[in-house]
Structure 1
């Protein structure tokens, strides 16, 4: 087996659960289609750890800012685009979809120190015309796509 296909070592732990929580866990595992309780608990732990890292504020993380806004609000789309350009180092990409009732959903892919990305999300979500928004961060990063090199003759 080559290095890429090598599975990382795992540690086994034992936990005790009240009957009701155990039943709720098994129901969730079945409803969401997890292969096992371990897989479900791994997913929950990753989410909690990502939230902990976000609160800590100094870890580089990747995530999305999802907003729903009224596209009839004067200059809102331009303001959102300008903010994304202002934070060019953190904003990787964005996608917007026009919905019914003059609403638009926009998903902005971001990466950077959690505290910085949280500040960007807060600034966007607080704009007049934004109906709701949420930042979702994960404890992962996007590898650099290209290394900047000086232009010829410089």
Structure 2
């Protein structure tokens, strides 16, 4: 793989913040950090295309005692059976559970599932990660 060298002009305050970010993230140097940011932005852009295939992870923390919530979450996953490839349920406390749902399929369908799950009454926190399928193989 050939490496091209480029120059970038950045104001000092922004560069100082970037250097702090690099240090905190564990990146080896500025070049590595810039490459990572470019890859991330390109991956995000790929996901805006129609019918884009993706892999993802939906993480939920919810109230175990909320009436019929666990059943509603399961029903939504069954409704999206073509996208849900695995899920794990963990008891965090007497009243809180975590569900991690691994997905694969059309990005729009996975995003819809994530939104539907997060909107359920009793879901306390929701985090959604999506990546282009082609970048995952």
TM tier, smaller: 0.7 to 0.9
1:27 matched residue in structure 2: 20
Are the aligned partners of 1:76 and 1:128 in contact in 2 as well (CA < 8 Å)? yes
2:56 maps to 63
**Residues 136-147 of structure 1 correspond to what in structure 2 (within 5 A)?**
136-141=129-134
Q: 2:108 matched to which residue of 1? A: 115
User: Which structure 2 segments of 5+ residues have no match?
Assistant: none
> In 2, Cα distance between the equivalents of 1:57 and 1:72?
39
Counterpart of 1:106 in structure 2 is 99
| TM-score (norm: length of structure 1) | 0.77
Distance 1:69 1:57 in 2: 32
Distance 2:5 2:77 in 1: 43
Separation in 2, partners of 1:77, 1:51 = 31
Report the CA distance between 1:23 and its aligned residue.
1.2
Q: Superposition RMSD on alpha carbons, in Å?
A: 2.0
Specify whether residues 56 and 108 from structure 1 end up closer, same or farther in structure 2 by C-alpha distance, changes over 3 A only.
same
Distance in structure 1 (CA, Å) of the matches to 2:55 and 2:6: 29
Q: Distance in 1 between matches of 2:67 and 2:93?
A: 18
Deviation, structure 1 residue 121: 0.7
- Name the TM-score, length of structure 2 as normaliser: 0.85
Shift in Å at residue 13 of structure 1?
2.9
Matching residue of 1:125: 118
- SS of alignment partner, residue 35 of structure 2: helix
When the two structures are aligned, how many residues end up with a matched partner? 136
